[in-house]
Each structure stands twice: as structure tokens, then as C-alpha cells.
Structure 1
Amino acid sequence: MRRTTLDLWVGFFVVIGMAALMFLAFKVGNLGAANASQTYVVSGQFDNIGGLKARAPVKSAGVVVGRVSDIRFDTKSYRAVVTLTLDARYQFPRDTIATILTSGLLGEQYVGLEPGGDEAMLKTGDKLQITQSAVVLEKLIGQFMFDKAAEHPAPPAH
């Protein structure tokens, strides 16, 4: 009898522990069930998204206001289409500028939103009209090297 009671208590605590771990995993991964009425979805086209990934944060003034929900390639415009799911608590004007930024020098990439001045607000299905692509470090280094080489032309051959 005593052994059965002990086994029952151990099993109970194992189940509670597993449930707590799952809860923490969902919280850390930000994968909790989101209520569709608490968010709205907008999209924007970018020439280059760099290393942006789905589930990347969307920030405005340093505050996370949403997540990147989908990234796909548009075969007609040959541009990347990024879909953003924004928290309904944060409303943005229709002329908001979306920029792909990097945390630190080599950190994760995220979408930054800079609010415009339009009185009409974004709503589900709207497209961001003004976007700025990611700065690609390799392109910057190549441009710098090319500019330096153009400043100092090679001496004439004899």
C-alpha cells in the first residue's frame, strides 16, 4: 500500500513537471495560441530581405509589436513578400515605413516600423507602400573596396 501511494505521488509530480515545461516552451517560443481578433495582418514587398526569417520580431521604437508570419517570393515582381502579424493594441498609419534592420553588427534581423502621418490606419490585408530592404554587409564591403580602388588608380605600365 505504501509503495503504491509513493508511485502515485511521483507520477503526479512528473505530470505536473511536464506540463510546466511545455508551458515554458510555448512562452519562450512565443507559440501560444493567438486569438485572430487580437491581431491584424499586413504585407510588404522588399528587394532583399537578407537573413530575415519567419517568426522574427516586428519592432517600433524598440518595442515588439508583432511577428513576421510568412515570407515568400513573388514571381511576377521578383521581390520578397513579407507578411507581418501585428498586435491589435498597436495601430499604425497607412503610410508607415517598414525597414529590415539588424540587432547590433551581426545580430538577428527584424522588421522595424516607422509610423507615418496619415490619419487612416492599417487594417488586415493592407500592403505597406514604403519599404526599405536589408543592408547586406558583403555589398557594403564590396562597395567600400571598389570606391577605394577608384580613388587610387593603378600606375601606368611602362
Structure 2
Amino acid sequence: MFKIKKETAVGIFVIMGLLAVVYMSVKLGNVQLFSDKYYVVKANFTDISGLKVNAPVQMYGVDIGFVSKIGLNQEKGVAEVSMMVLKEVELTDDAIAAIKTNGLIGDKYVKIVPGGLGEPVKPGDTLFDTQPAVDLEDLISKFAFGSV
């Protein structure tokens, strides 16, 4: 009968452990490897306070993608947000992108209100109708000091 040496058994165990770690890292990290399920849509906002990379993008309350990149365009004075949207979701160029809050002090996400009469958005296009994030601290201070 063939006996497996201890070194071989330990080596197989270590390799299986490393494969499990890589698999969990990809799954929990929301890493898109070899995937063409998404296309890029961009939007420019005057304020995106609290929005982070990997924040959800929703339409009708359903997740349709995520924020992939956030940048600053100082020439235009805007924050540029790149979003990965599922290919089966068709957006038009008159869609509205807004930064919303999940709950009272929750995380920020991008809500897309679909248009109806515009041209279809191609990968890499920019949505021009945007609504910036509402600053709750500013609203509370205005209410507290009576300027609302």
C-alpha cells in the first residue's frame, strides 16, 4: 500500500488553504476578474460628501452596479464618479444621477432615475443631470439657527 509522506500531506493542505484564501478575497472584496457583465457610465457632481468606491448604484431600489472610481476635475470644479452598470440595464442620456443616503446616518449611494426620451448611453458616456449629496450638518445648523 502507498503511504503519503507527511511533507506531501502538509503541502497539499497548504495549497488548499491558499486557494481558499484567494477565493474568499475575490468574493468578499467584490473583485471583478474576467467579467464583462458591466459597462462604465460617468457622472459629474458638485458635491459627493461621504460617497465611497464600491458604493452601490441603484435604480428603482435595485442594485444595478457600483461606484468604481472617484476623481476630481479642478478645471470644471466637479467630482467625477465612474460607475459600473450591468449590461442588461439600458440608460438614456436624460437619466438623473443623485447621491442619496441609506437611512438617517447611513452610507451614501448613487440613485439613478431613468429618463425616457433620450438617446441610449454608450459605455464611457457621461450623465449630465446630477443632484449632489445633501449635507445633513448644514441643514441641521440652518434649522438650529433659524435660517431655514
Specify the TM-score bucket, using the shorter chain as the normaliser.
0.7 to 0.9
Instruction: Give the match for residue 127 of structure 1.
Output: 126
Instruction: Mark the CA change 1:117 to 1:51 in structure 2 (over 3 Å): closer, same or farther.
Output: same
Instruction: Give the match for residue 114 of structure 2.
Output: 115
Task: Give % identity.
Answer: 37
Cα distance between partner residues in 2 of 1:28 and 1:78: 34
CA RMSD between the two structures: 2.1
The C-alpha deviation readout for 1:39-70, integer Å capped at 9, x for no partner, is 22121111110111122221112222112122
What amino acid is aligned across from residue 138 of structure 1 in structure 2?
E
Query: In the TM superposition, what are the counterparts of 1:41-120 in structure 2 within 5 Å?
Result: 41-118=40-117, 120=119
**Contact kept? 2:43, 2:126, Cα under 8 Å:** yes
Cα distance between partner residues in 2 of 1:136 and 1:120: 32
SS at match of 1:51: coil
Segments of 4+ moved more than 4 angstroms: none
What amino acid is aligned across from residue 20 of structure 1 in structure 2?
A
Instruction: Give the match for residue 7 of structure 2.
Output: 7
How far apart are 1:138 and its partner, in Å?
0.9
SS at match of 1:25: helix
Cα distance between partner residues in 1 of 2:94 and 2:14: 52
How far apart are 1:34 and its partner, in Å?
4.5
How far apart are 1:77 and its partner, in Å?
2.0
SS at match of 2:79: strand
Q: TM-score, normalised by structure 1?
A: 0.82
Number of positions where the alignment pairs a residue of Structure 1 with one of Structure 2: 147
The C-alpha deviation readout for 1:107-137, integer Å capped at 9, x for no partner, is 2211111111125321112111111111111
Instruction: Mark the structure with the bigger radius of gyration.
Output: 1
What amino acid is aligned across from residue 53 of structure 2 in structure 1?
A
Structure 2 runs not aligned, ≥5 long: none
SS at match of 2:94: coil
Higher helix proportion (structure 1 or 2): 1
What amino acid is aligned across from residue 56 of structure 1 in structure 2?
A
How far apart are 1:139 and its partner, in Å?
0.8
What amino acid is aligned across from residue 44 of structure 2 in structure 1?
Q
**Contact kept? 2:39, 2:87, Cα under 8 Å:** yes
